[in-house]
Every structure is written in structure tokens, then in C-alpha cells.
A and B are shown apart, each in its own frame.
Chain A
């Protein structure tokens, strides 16, 4: 009886109470079974081939830029690779700012996320998404929201591996 008094006190009528019990009863397993029929199966082979071709084309574009810079503009090899990375980052940032890079990513998937274009896209999109909240609390605070993990784990792992190699293998 105390239970029913509590229900009345909090203003929950009996219908919502039964729905609550139903929700609690529907555990994770049955939820998975229910949704597995509705969620469309993605074609993994097709996704893989698209990612391979698109990623390969980005790599090919990088090699072509380096080749053209070296042979037609007489740029040293080290500078040519830096310029190539800057060009790719600029293209990706511009496409993100113009707003059609998200569509490309949803089609090409990892083919555009794994190359350096994904890094530039993550940074520019997180800046643009929080533009409304102001220069410092919006853009400044959220600039590294997605790319922060890449930089953090890159630096930490490079430091650990670097120390191991420097101390035990002599640099």
C-alpha cells in the first residue's frame, strides 16, 4: 500500500507506471534483437573498396603534387612534401568550411578520414560548429575537441617509444 501511496504522491498515473515496468523489463538483449531487423545491413565489401580507391587517390594526388613541385618548380624534396601537406590541408579545410565535406566523408568513409584531410576536417568542423558561442569560449575552447586525442596520443606514444629507442638502442 505504501508503494501505491508513493505513486500517487509523485503524480504518476497507472498507465505510465506499467510503461515504466515494460521499459525496465526490455533489457539490452531483446533491444538488440528488435533493432537488428530494422537497422539496414551495411555492405562491408563495398565500403572497403570505396575507402581503398578514395584513400589511394588522395595518396596519388600527394605524390603528383610532390612530383610536379620537384620537376617543374625545382623545389627541394623536403620542402615539396611540406607544401604538399599544406595544400591537402587547405583543400580539406576549404571544403569543410563550404559545407560539402561531410557529405563526401559519409560516402567515402575512411578514405577521407585516415589521410591528413581527416585531421584538417575534424579541426575546422569543430571550430565552425561552435562559432556561435563566441571567439574564445566557442572557437578557442573547442578547436582541439576532435583532434586533441590524435595529438595527445601521438605525442605520448612518440615520447615513450623515443625514450625506449634512445636509451636501449642508442638513438
Chain B
């Protein structure tokens, strides 16, 4: 059943993104930025954690989970070490994704030629 919920949640987020793209003049860059801020906003009330419980790993795939894990790591560290932890723990959960994107992107760029 969690497979269906993952499908529905991720599809719904993408549907909202497509509606924004079709009905306004915003570019994909705007849409992804909006979704990251939305994810951070939803997690500041602990709402996104409930989504993860209800809908499974489908909630970790959209870019909203990027904002969620940014604020989640920051708050976890802040609870341990005080206000400085907000700065120190910001990337503690998202570094996997960012570093993977940078490293894979760079290696593949060196290997493959640009397609004209």
C-alpha cells in the first residue's frame, strides 16, 4: 500500500509543479526554488515528518525533501550544541545528495562530450 501512497504523493507534487509551469511565466528554476522553500516551511511545523511516515520514500524523491532535510539537520544540531548548530548542521543530511550530484556530474562530464 505504501507503494501507492508514494506514487500518489510524488505525482501530486509534480502535478502542482506542472500547473505552475503552464499557468504562469515562471521557469523550472523558479519552480524548484519555490518547492525547496515550501519543503523547509512545511518542516518548520514538523508536518513533513508526518508525510514521510504516511507516504513512505516517495516523499524523499521530490525536491521539497531537500528543504526538509536542510532544516531538519540544522534543528537537530541546534538542539545539541545551541544556536551555532543551525550553521553547523545545515548540510548534515543533504550532503549525500549534493556531493553525489557534484561528483557524478564532474566525472561524467570528463568522460562524455557535449551533444550539439
Interface residues in chain A, defined as those with a beta carbon under 8 Å from any beta carbon in chain B: 42, 44, 47-48, 50-60, 62-67, 81-82, 84-86, 88-90, 93-94, 96-99, 109-111, 113-116, 118-120, 122-124, 127-129, 131-132, 139, 143, 146-147, 149-151, 153-155, 157-159, 161-166, 171
Contacts and interface: CB of A to CB of B under 8 A. Distances in A.
B109 A51 contact: no
B7 A56 contact: yes
A137 to B, nearest CB: 14
Given A63-B6, A110-B21, A124-B109, A150 B66 contact: yes
A63 B14 contact: no
Contacts of A131: 109, 113-114
The listed residue with most B CB atoms (<10 A of its CB), out of A93, A114, A163, is: A114
Contacts of B61: 58-59, 62, 85, 88, 115-116
Given A60-B10, A162-B71, A119 B97 contact: yes
Contact of A48 (B10, B19, B62, B108): B19
Contacts, number: 250
Contacts of B32: 113-114, 118-119, 122, 149-150
Interface of B: 2-3, 6-15, 17-23, 28-29, 31-33, 35-37, 39-41, 43-44, 56-63, 65-67, 70-71, 74-75, 78-79, 83, 86-87, 90, 96-98, 100-102, 104-106, 108-109, 111-115
B33 A63 contact: no
26 contacts: A44-B19, A47-B18, A48-B19, A52-B15, A56-B8, A56-B14, A58-B10, A58-B14, A60-B3, A85-B97, A89-B104, A97-B108, A113-B32, A114-B35, A115-B14, A116-B97, A118-B28, A119-B32, A119-B63, A123-B105, A128-B109, A150-B36, A153-B37, A154-B67, A158-B67, A162-B74
B115 A99 contact: yes
A97 B112 contact: yes
The listed residue with most B CB atoms (<10 A of its CB), out of A56, A57, A116, A131, is: A56
A154 B108 CA distance: 26
